[in-house]
Structure 1
Amino acid sequence: MAALSIRDLDDSVKEKLRLRAAQHGRSMEAEIRAILTEAVDDEAPRADLFSALTARFSQMGGVDLDIPPRSTPPRAADLPE
């Protein structure tokens, strides 16, 4: 396994890493390892914006919107040549 040193890390970043590690129940070293692994993992699918928003709002119970019917027919775009 490789070892890595990070110099000149801002104290606020270190504190945020410490808190994040505690939230996930692991050491700072394990948390940093997980963050780096996830960041470079080519196999991890990236969610598009719609999927990310759907996942975020579904955790809160979802959102139902009443979309009114269109009152005028759609018009063609006026594109200059």
Structure 2
Amino acid sequence: MASITVRNIPEEVHRAIRVRAAMHGHSTEAEVRSILEQAARPEGRIKLGSMLASIAREAGSLTHAEVETINRQRDKTPAEPMSFECSSLIPT
């Protein structure tokens, strides 16, 4: 695990963290970890997977006819391979 050092914490902030830790039955170090985790990863945040699932639910399912239409309209020609030759990028 990573560790960090925080310097120049005002004495009143340090004291408040110690009091808060005692109220929660934690060490000061455990309380600071808890505070940092809550700040960095709040419970109400939306995660990417949840957001994508929500968008899919709102969009609804495609019908068989819609899928067929998409497949008919899709360009099925193979893509040209990429060229990594420098000479093709330099105008002559």
TM-score (norm 1): 0.53
Matches of 2:11 and 2:18 in 1, distance apart? 11
Matches of 1:10 and 1:38 in 2, distance apart? 21
Q: Which runs of 5+ in 1 are unaligned?
A: 47-81
CA RMSD of aligned residues (A): 1.3
Look up the match of 1:45: 44
Matches of 2:44 and 2:9 in 1, distance apart? 29
TM-score (norm 2): 0.47
Give, as a single letter, the amino acid of the residue that structure 1 aligns with 2:30. Answer: A
* Largest Rg, 1 or 2: 2
Matches of 2:27 and 2:15 in 1, distance apart? 13
Look up the match of 1:29: 29
Give, as a single letter, the amino acid of the residue that structure 2 aligns with 1:10. Answer: P
Runs (4+) of structure 1 exceeding 6 A deviation are none
